[in-house]
């Protein structure tokens, strides 16, 4: 092997080690804080809807949301929707869906904006 080959091997090994260190650091953070940073003492407080009478919510839509993987994610998505007037949302990370009950006709753009504005989740479909 000539000298340039040895240099490239050293550079490649350094890049691989830096990448591995970044992956391990990210994984350790997820273990300690949860996938969305909601673990530990920073757990988001769930916003509860005051009116839980289903009869008051004649409209229903199902959102398919990409990015939800844990109960912390569910809470963040529900909170983003439950602050909207006349909305009662229940998320399920396992299925990636959010059931949204509404008092008036659904404003799909407002629902999409509320979820997407969290920065970590994307509404893929509204049905």
Domain boundaries, the chain: 3-33, 43-126
Going edge to edge, which strands form the sheet with 97-102? 87-92, 97-102, 59-66, 122-126
Spatial separation of the C-alpha atoms in residues 48 and 82, rounded to whole Å: 7
For 43-126, give the CATH class: alpha beta
Q: Model confidence over 41-61: pLDDT tens digits?
A: 556 789 999 999 999 999 999
Q: Model confidence over 82-110: pLDDT tens digits?
A: 999 999 999 999 999 999 999 999 999 99
Spatial separation of the C-alpha atoms in residues 121 and 83, rounded to whole Å: 17
Whole-prediction pTM value? 0.71
Q: Work out the angle between the directed axes of helices 71-82 and 108-116 (0-180°, nearest 10).
A: 130
């Amino acid at each position: 092997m000539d000298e340039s080959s040895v240099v490239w091997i050293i550079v490649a090994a350094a890049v691989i080690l830096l990448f591995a260190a970044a992956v391990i650091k990210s994984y350790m953070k997820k273990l300690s804080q949860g996938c969305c940073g909601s673990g530990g003492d920073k757990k988001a407080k769930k916003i509860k809807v005051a009116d839980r009478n289903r009869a008051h919510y004649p409209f229903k839509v199902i959102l398919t949301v990409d990015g939800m993987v844990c109960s912390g994610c569910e809470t963040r998505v529900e909170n983003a929707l439950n602050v909207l007037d006349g909305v009662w949302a229940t998320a399920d990370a396992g299925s990636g869906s959010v059931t949204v009950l509404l008092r008036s006709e659904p404003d799909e753009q407002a629902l999409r904006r509320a979820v997407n504005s969290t920065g970590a989740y994307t509404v893929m479909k509204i049905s």
